[in-house]
Structure 1
């Protein structure tokens, strides 16, 4: 995250209830800064939090969600203790899961994975068309 970006973080337990809690946290942090693209941000938060709970957090552990925004973009990072690096999957039509990063890849302006001494973090950014405006991809679809 860049130095000018105001960043807020919170830890969430390894529990299914942490996914909606992480969305609510992001919504609270971003408020109007998410603009009309807030739904895209919350979708991506859901996917990263779900992956952390299912694959990255050991029993009794937690994940850390960092949320920030500036005039250029919204950025979210999801930190967990998992060592396995995530990858975009292309599941069969009848599979119920495996589309999380596929959705993030389709919605976010950028995303990636970083390593930490004890795990990894997955991040995404959504560009804003103007301060407080929708992400650039959303703005292009609206015109």
Structure 2
């Protein structure tokens, strides 16, 4: 991939539990198609965590969520868009907690992550992953 070349793809997922699996499959297929296999496992896990958060905490009135992947040079950016402004917080879950570890995993696996507001409503939770670039010409 040349430095100036940007590839971007996105897909909307309905507010259903099976959408998390579909979002992971979407990411895997996209990254394999871009010849960016080296970080597929890390990115798939982050897609799973962020999509689950969007489904459980970020969607209102069954609006669903959007997953966007962008590759530019040696960086893949993952975005999960949802319809609530409530910002997620990075916190350590207790051993007895049933949830609360998703953003800790994202922070550990990604080379950067953050949250930005989306207009007119909602937010984008993003994470970036450094790669070696495409494996083929």
TM-score of the alignment, normalized to the shorter chain, above 0.5? yes
Note if contact 1:7-1:68 (Cα within 8 Å) is conserved in structure 2: yes
Task: Report the Cα distance in structure 1 between the residues aligned to 2:77 and 2:16, rounded to whole angstroms.
Answer: 23
Q: 1:119 aligns with which of 118, 122, 132?
A: 122
**Conserved in 1, the CA contact under 8 Å of 2:77 and 2:128?**
yes
Distance in 2 (alpha carbons) for counterparts of 1:131 and 1:21: 25
**Alignment check: 8 A CA contact 2:5 2:73 kept:** no
4+ residue runs of structure 1 moved beyond 6 angstroms? Answer: none
Q: CA deviation at 1:70?
A: 2.9
TM alignment of 1:1-143, pairs within 5 A: 4-31=5-32, 33-117=35-119, 118-128=121-131, 130-132=132-134
Measure the CA separation in 2 of the matches of 1:103 and 1:5.
27
Shift in Å, 1:33 = 3.1
The question of whether the paired residues in 2 share the 8 Å contact of 1:67 and 1:76 is answered with yes
Q: Over aligned residue pairs, what C-alpha RMSD do you find?
A: 1.7
Q: TM-score if structure 2 supplies the norm length? A: 0.89
Contact 1:12 1:22 in 2 (8 A): yes
Q: Which has the higher helix share?
A: 1
CA distance in 2, matches of 1:114, 1:95: 27
| Alpha-carbon distance, 1:73 to partner | 1.1
Q: Give the SS at the match of 1:112.
A: strand
Give 5+ residue unaligned stretches, structure 1.
134-143
Number of residues paired by the alignment?
Answer: 131
Gaps of at least 5 residues in structure 2 are none
